[in-house]
Amino acid sequence: MLLAGGALLAALCAASCAGRGERYAASSGRLPDSGSPAVALGNLRVGSDPSPGQVELVRFLFGEEPDPTLGLIKPVDVALFGDQVLACDAALLGILRADTRAGYQALPIAETPRLPAALAVHGDSVLLADAAGAVLRFDARGGLRQRYALPADTRPFRPSGLLVLDDELWIANAAAHTLEIFGLERGELRRSIGGRGSGPGRFAVPVGLAATPEGQVCAVDMLGCRVEVFDRAGVWQRDIGGPGDRLGRFGRPRDVAVGPDGVVFVSDAASQRVHAFSPAGTPLAMFGGPEDGDDALVLPGGLAIAACGVAAERAAPPGFEPRYCVLVAEQIARPGIRVFAWRGPQGDDPRSSSVAATRPPPTVANPHWTADGCGSCHETRDGVILPIEPRGVDALCLKCHDGEQAIDEPHPIGRPAAGSRTQAPPDWPLIDGRLTCLTCHDIRRHCDAAAIRPMQNSALVRGFDAQAPTRSCTQCHTAELWRINPHRAQSSEALDRAACTFCHTHATELDRSGVRRGDARLRDSSSGLCLTCHTMHADPAPRGHLGAELTSAVQAALERPGSAGRLPMSDERVTCFSCHNPHAAETFPAGTPLAIRSDRPEDAKKSLRAAHIELCLHCHPR
């Protein structure tokens, strides 16, 4: 009778849930911006607990209370098993299958794990990482098919991530900071890569694993705050991301998944977001966040990619056409599998994105926002922290913020705050009327014992508004009604050179020949540098110009007789400054290579290197 009651209850719940997603979407009023790359669809839709009326009906018909619907308590990973969604739950010590009618159902498996940590699927079998020291492979009926473990007395083994690649099983070993590669069928250890460290191919607690469409392996280095990419042989290729608290930077990355188009998704438990990167590693977007709302995440963990038809609490809004869905295991607040529909940045083709030059990670520990970091800047006497002499603050900051040990700040200091175009607010601190680091950065807020590091303004810029990030600049630059333009160097040559450091890591002496000599030392060699301030404009090319690779025909056209010469590229790919000259017109003598630009008024406003038709013909000859 109890089984019959459960079956009837499942049918009743399914009927009550039908169409819920569509009705919710119509009434929620939360539609994404026209350029939003992702939209939250809520949790994975599964059976829900019975209503009081349903309980009464089952009690009347069968004389017993219905069984409560099984739910997730601490989901740590998610995987696709055919068209089924599986979740690995560390509290329930097992694997659960999502069912839109009957809720989550426990999969019967031959061995109960002690610390389930990760899932993987291969063919008709499911692999489960038990952080207690083994990886278990079950067949479709739950029978134990294979056990993978390190030989006794070799090194500690704590499986924390799984990936099946060809005939091999890759396992992230968090305890030994290595990747262990086993034969999938026989279970023999074939090789190990990595080891503790921060350099290429080394780890500080590896966790999630995923493969790209080309067969490369992405491995999350959790405490290294990056994703390392290896080829099939285990040779390190590059890093994705790095430490930080902005787009493309992590505080505690947990897992990685790769879409069919090569987009790399990384969950970060520190920022409570999922970061998306192009196949080349260029940051594209992030979604989720700690704030309340439909897209909020609390301690995101495992990731998986699913087709657009996956059941969710609500449907994507009208006009939003996703490529696929990203599933996120959320462990706190609403434990479950969150669903995000992904369409990518509008106009973006991730396959054409170029590799963005990344700055090396800091070589010094960050003393800010740590309980024991005060002594890095302050002297103490008898346990009392002494204040810093205001005149010594700038020199103290620059000991670390030199562009090598820690990020440098391109804004000049030591200049008079008041000028023909500038005037600092009266309550912003100055030294003898001149700019200091503390003029713009309210560093005292670090010392508040109750302070929490803000995600959107970790540098503590005074007057900062996340919705209008350059508005704080116009509080001093009173003549700039829209934004500050470092391309217009309008004062002395010293100011010209300081303005150069907005784009270049070092200000060099201006060569009046207008010929580039040596490395430009740009902060980013790709268009990401320009798009930091500028927004993407309309592009007549069907797939856009940015990131397009030069063909042999185009290279020949650029070098043909009568051509104005090769346009600047980034790794033989088109970038913003291929067509636009970022230098002020008066910086270099007219006619020199770095000063070449069109003299037509309509082109000059856009700083085009040549008249727009002539510019097109550089690469697209008749």
What is the model's pLDDT at position 173?
95
- The more confident residue out of 385 and 76 is 76
pTM reported for the whole predicted model: 0.54
Determine the Cα–Cα distance for residues 98 and 104; give it in Å rounded to an integer.
Answer: 5
Determine the Cα–Cα distance for residues 509 and 338; give it in Å rounded to an integer.
Answer: 53
What is the model's pLDDT at position 380?
81
What is the model's pLDDT at position 55?
59
Q: Above 90 in pLDDT, residue 189?
A: yes
Give percent of the chain above pLDDT 90: 25
Q: Write the secondary structure of 98-128 as one string of H (helix), E (strand) and C (coil).
A: EECCCEEEECCCCCCCCCEEEEEEECCEEEE
| Highest-confidence segment of 14-18, 156-160, 495-499 | 156-160
For residue 397, name the pLDDT band (cuts at 50, 70, 90): confident
Q: Above 80 in pLDDT, residue 450?
A: no
Q: For the stretch 282-300, what's the b/e string if a residue is b when 16 or more beta carbons lie within 10 angstroms of its beta carbon?
A: bbbbbbbbeeeeebbbbbb
What is the model's pLDDT at position 586?
67
| Strand segments (E) across 364-422 | 380-381, 384-385
Q: Above 50 in pLDDT, residue 16?
A: no
What is the model's pLDDT at position 278?
92
553's tokens? 């025909």
Domains and CATH numbers, the chain: 2-45+67-346 (2.120.10.30), 368-484 (no CATH), 512-622 (no CATH)
Q: Above 90 in pLDDT, residue 171?
A: yes
Residue pointed to by tokens 């309550």? 427
| Highest-confidence segment of 520-524, 544-548, 578-582 | 578-582
- Least Cα distance to 608 among 565, 569, 576 occurs for 576
Pairing of strands 300-306, 336-342: unpaired
User: Which amino acid is residue 320, in one-letter code?
Assistant: F
Q: Above 50 in pLDDT, residue 301?
A: yes
- Partner residues linked to 330 by β-bridges: 300, 336
Task: Report yes or no: 159 and 129 within 8 Å, Cβ to Cβ.
Answer: yes
Q: Above 70 in pLDDT, residue 215?
A: yes
Of 81-85, 132-136, 306-310, 360-364, the least confident: 360-364
Q: Write the secondary structure of 505-520 as one string of H (helix), E (strand) and C (coil).
A: CCCCCCCCCCCCCCCC
Q: Above 50 in pLDDT, residue 482?
A: no
Q: What mean pLDDT is predicted for residues 208-212?
A: 95
- Partner residues linked to 108 by β-bridges: none
What is the model's pLDDT at position 311?
81
Burial class (CB in 10 A: 0-12, 13-18, 19+), 599: exposed
On average, the pLDDT of the chain sits at 76
Of 374-378, 521-525, 535-539, 549-553, the least confident: 535-539
What is the model's pLDDT at position 33?
45
Q: For the stretch 434-471, what's the b/e string if a residue is b when 16 or more beta carbons lie within 10 angstroms of its beta carbon?
A: ebbbbbbbbbeebeeeeeeeebebeebebebeeeeeee
Q: What mean pLDDT is predicted for residues 334-344?
A: 86
